[in-house]
């Protein structure tokens, strides 16, 4: 007896929202003036608010202004934002601007920070949903490899003392808890927490040249601008934040991670010429459904509607291929430091995580102690798959042709031995 496949999911259909949020957004629609909004997102308003909140007025290099203006314009005209979406966007931008002011001030107060050397940082890159997060968390169990934590990216200049750290940790934890309350299904897709290692896009967001804004918001106008933008300022402030964090708490080596580095390897190596890259590899066809569903949930936190075609343009089919092949083209080019790259198969990482880590340590020239290996094993045992529920997604819901996508990535899969997870 054969069973009919489940019906195709409507990717434009919303996730469930709690009643209180539905009521709040409804009030926002009712009270918004014609052609206007209740929450101001103008750049001048944001800058003035950040200055008043901090008592500071030096935002540093002026190269943040253009991307901020493009982003604010796109948020105002493209996002189809709910009242909650506007509130979150205002909070995000205000936090980043206040952080910029504090970063500049902290570096003036303590000029020695510029002498902090970020030596041979390790960057984990790979397509979204290809194991970068679990590998990042696993390697971060080694005290010699320091990953920036989510609360540190949210507040890179905390007040002095343990009480200052504690307040910033609590603030960040409240933010992430709130995200899961907005869209409860999000917790099944990506675990968040103040003390969990974060992606570098949270650091580069302080330059307003970051894919972080594309993940949180429906901002195609900003995305088009970012696609051809100079990313040097993004890696400049990335470096400045690492220096500040390292001065507060010295570390032997930084462990960093973001899929978006794949599109920016020239700028990354220009800032960190001795960087080491670990690239994860997973079936791109399998990745598409998971990535699109995750981005749908993030968009639904802030927008009145979801445009799946816009999400698919960047994270499925040709858009996903562009991300992958940007990294491979750089690796195969004449200026790439070939010895800087190591590769990890998602299938190996899932089936034999500790032996995969041991091979990576050999590539990096690091001794893997029994204590670190045991701690990694304990961490994995406490973090089973689907800990917060099963992430529900299917490639078939994307409306793409499987044979066409297989052909698109055939050479890539053959080159790295990437197994197909969908037939």
The 10s digit of each residue's pLDDT in 213-261 is 998 888 999 999 999 999 999 999 999 999 999 999 999 899 999 999 9
**pLDDT at residue 396, rounded to an integer:** 80
| CATH architecture under which domain 121-416 falls | 3-Layer(aba) Sandwich (3.40)
Q: What is the pLDDT of residues 311-363, one digit of tens each?
A: 888 888 898 899 999 999 999 998 888 789 999 999 999 999 999 999 999 99
CA quadruple 409, 130, 298, 42: dihedral sign: negative
| Residue 299 clears pLDDT 80, i.e. is over it | yes
Domain ranges within the chain, ordered by starting residue = 121-416
In this prediction, residue 14 has a pLDDT band, given cuts at 50, 70 and 90, of low
- The pTM is what? 0.91
| Residue 394 clears pLDDT 60, i.e. is over it | yes
Query: Are 231 and 144 spatial neighbours (Cβ–Cβ below 8 Å)?
Result: no
**pLDDT at residue 322, rounded to an integer:** 92
């Amino acid at each position: 007896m054969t069973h009919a496949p489940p019906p195709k999911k409507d990717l434009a259909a919303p996730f469930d929202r709690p009643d209180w949020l539905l009521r709040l957004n409804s009030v926002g629609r009712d009270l918004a003036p014609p052609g206007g909004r209740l929450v101001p997102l103008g750049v001048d308003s944001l800058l003035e608010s950040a200055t008043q909140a901090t008592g500071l007025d030096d935002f540093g290099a002026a190269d943040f202004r253009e991307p901020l203006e493009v982003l604010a314009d796109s948020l105002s005209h493209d996002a189809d934002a709910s009242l909650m979406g506007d509130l979150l966007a205002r909070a995000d931008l205000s936090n980043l601007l206040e952080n910029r002011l504090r970063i500049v001030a902290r570096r003036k107060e303590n000029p020695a920070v510029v002498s902090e050397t970020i030596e041979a940082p390790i960057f984990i890159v790979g397509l979204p949903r290809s194991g970068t997060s679990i590998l990042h968390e696993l390697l971060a169990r080694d005290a010699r490899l320091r990953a920036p934590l989510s609360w540190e990216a949210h507040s890179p200049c905390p007040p002095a003392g343990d009480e200052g750290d504690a307040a910033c940790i609590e603030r960040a934890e409240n933010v992430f808890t709130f995200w899961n309350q907005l869209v409860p299904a999000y917790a099944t897709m990506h675990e968040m927490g103040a003390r969990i290692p974060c992606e570098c896009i949270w650091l580069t967001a302080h330059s307003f040249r970051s894919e972080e804004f594309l993940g949180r918001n429906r901002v195609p106008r900003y995305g088009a601008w970012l696609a051809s933008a100079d990313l040097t300022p993004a890696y400049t402030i990335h470096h400045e934040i690492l220096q500040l964090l390292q001065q507060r708490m010295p570390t032997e080596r930084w462990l960093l991670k973001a899929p978006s580095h794949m599109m920016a390897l020239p700028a990354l190596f220009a800032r960190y010429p001795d960087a080491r890259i670990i690239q994860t590899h997973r079936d791109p066809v399998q990745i598409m459904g998971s990535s699109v569903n995750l981005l749908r949930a993030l968009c639904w936190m802030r927008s009145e509607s979801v445009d799946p075609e816009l999400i698919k343009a960047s994270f499925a089919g040709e858009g996903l291929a562009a991300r992958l092949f940007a990294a491979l083209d750089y690796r195969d080019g004449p200026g790439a430091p070939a010895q800087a790259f190591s590769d990890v198969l998602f299938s190996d990482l899932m089936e034999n995580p500790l032996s995969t880590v041991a091979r990576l340590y050999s590539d990096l020239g690091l001794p893997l102690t029994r204590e670190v290996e045991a701690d990694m094993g304990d961490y994995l045992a406490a973090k089973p798959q689907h800990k917060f529920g099963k992430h529900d997604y299917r490639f078939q819901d994307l409306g793409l042709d499987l044979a066409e996508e297989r052909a698109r990535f055939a050479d890539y899969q053959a080159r790295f031995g990437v197994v197909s997870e969908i037939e």
